[in-house]
Amino acid sequence: MSAFSNPYAVPVVAAQESERSTFLRKVGAWTFGGLMIAGAASLASMTALLLVPALGSQYVALGIMLGAIFASRFIGSSMVYSESAATRVMGFVAGNALQGIAMGYLLLVAIFMSAELYGNPLAMLGQAVVLVGLTVAGIVAYLLTGPKNLSLIGGALSALTLPMLGLMVLTAVWPVGGVAGVVLSVGFVAVSAGGLLFNLNQVMHRMSTDQVVPAAYHVSIGILVLFWNVLSLLMRLNRR
């Protein structure tokens, strides 16, 4: 049965401490695996862009990024909640891989920019990883104090997620310069951080203990979207 239809599912907030800890450890392990899958897919995407220059044209890159992102979102809302364990795993792997493919173009541009500005192609990627890691740690520390009522954030995210994803891709291919671009990127970072906060609150306090795969999926995708926006902001700041 799917987790939402299982009448015997135990909400995390009502589970015993040992059961809750086991659930969160599993979610953490699956999340790490999802990020590794996305990283491998990003590397493959960047390699394809280098080997086939036509893929790097603006319109082709836009099509690949939009297609991969929205396919990933579709999988996240269907396959990871399947009654079949195999289908849930397939959805988790495919969703994270698609998100990684979508990021290939952005990562490649960041690597070239970082090499030109810092003499180190991985400098900006490292900065983004550190900033995202600190943000995740801060959110987790905040949520450890207890469940939060984030219904307003959840409603806002429902309305903003799809338009934001589309704008993210468009501005990655056709950057908005100047102060307007920085303000837009800061807004994207704020919305994606809010989305991650909402997802982690659901995972730590609202979801049931048999929802390991969908919980990890939403956390990993939330982290990847936040990374995308933090890296985009760093790139805009370095362009000024």
Dump pLDDT digits (tens) for 193-213.
988 998 898 888 888 888 899
Q: What percent of the chain has pLDDT over 90?
A: 44
Residue 240 pLDDT class (50, 70, 90 cuts)? low
Give the mean pLDDT of 123-152: 90
- pLDDT for residue 12: 76
pTM above threshold 0.95: no
Q: CB-based contacts of 169: which residues, under 8 Å, 6+ apart? A: 62, 65, 66, 69, 102
Token readout for 26 is 């599993």
Closest C-alpha among 18, 19, 21, 4 to residue 144: 21
Tokens of 88: 């849930």
For the chain, the structural domain boundaries read 11-239
For residue 157, pLDDT beyond 60? yes
CA distances from 83 to 38, 52, 89, 92 (A): 24, 40, 11, 14
Highest mean predicted confidence (pLDDT) among 15-24, 119-128, 175-184: 119-128
Give residue-wise pLDDT tens across range 1-15.
334 445 446 777 777
Residue 117 has pLDDT above 80, yes or no: yes
Asked if pLDDT for residue 69 goes beyond 80, the answer is yes
